[in-house]
Amino acid sequence: MKKINTPHAPPAIGPYSQAIVSEAFLFTRYLFTSGQIALLPATGDFLNGDITEQTKQVLKNLDAILVEAGTSWERVVKTNVYLIDMNEYATFNQIYEQHLKGARPARLTCAVAALPKGARVEIDLIAEAY
């Protein structure tokens, strides 16, 4: 997997890469997750907290899926992030960056009108899974 970073395109304004090249698409297994919101695995209850609490829970949920698939954030090619309030972008970005510890997958972040259960954030991802 190769991270693309060119001065001839706008730089990333957060903890993500401009693009990712995956060289072994035909011979590599990929994990495609469903969107994750701040549901608590033990109970299935929704964590009705602020953007900080919800983002941390969503990332924990994705951690568990990555581990089960035998992969990690370092092998994540792309994330899609949906926020209901772009005023929370900076807070989200800070938590996301700390959690990924240097991993920089390509990323889409967009604002949406609503998410299931009143969630403030939803994330899905694609990762190489060996």
The predicted pLDDT at position 64 comes to 92
**What domain count does the chain have?**
1
* Residue 121, token pair as written in the block: 């954030």
AA identity, residue 33: T
Q: pLDDT tens across 69-122, in order?
A: 888 999 999 999 999 999 999 999 999 999 999 999 999 999 999 999 999 999
Upper half-sphere CA count for residue 81 (Cβ side, 13 Å) = 24
**Full 3-state SS string of 66-107:** HHHCCCCHHHEEEEEEEECCHHHHHHHHHHHHHHHCCCCCEE
The predicted pLDDT at position 86 comes to 98
* Residue 120, token pair as written in the block: 């403030």
Q: pLDDT tens across 27-84, in order?
A: 678 888 889 999 999 988 999 999 999 999 999 999 999 888 888 999 999 999 999 9
How far apart CA 23 and CA 16 sit, in angstroms, is 19
CB 58 within 8 A of CB 79: no
Residue 84 sits in a domain of what CATH number? 3.30.1330.40
Return the DSSP state at 27: G
To 10 degrees, what angle do helices 89-100 and 51-68 make? 30
Confidence (pTM): 0.86
Domain that holds residue 70: 2-128
The predicted pLDDT at position 125 comes to 92
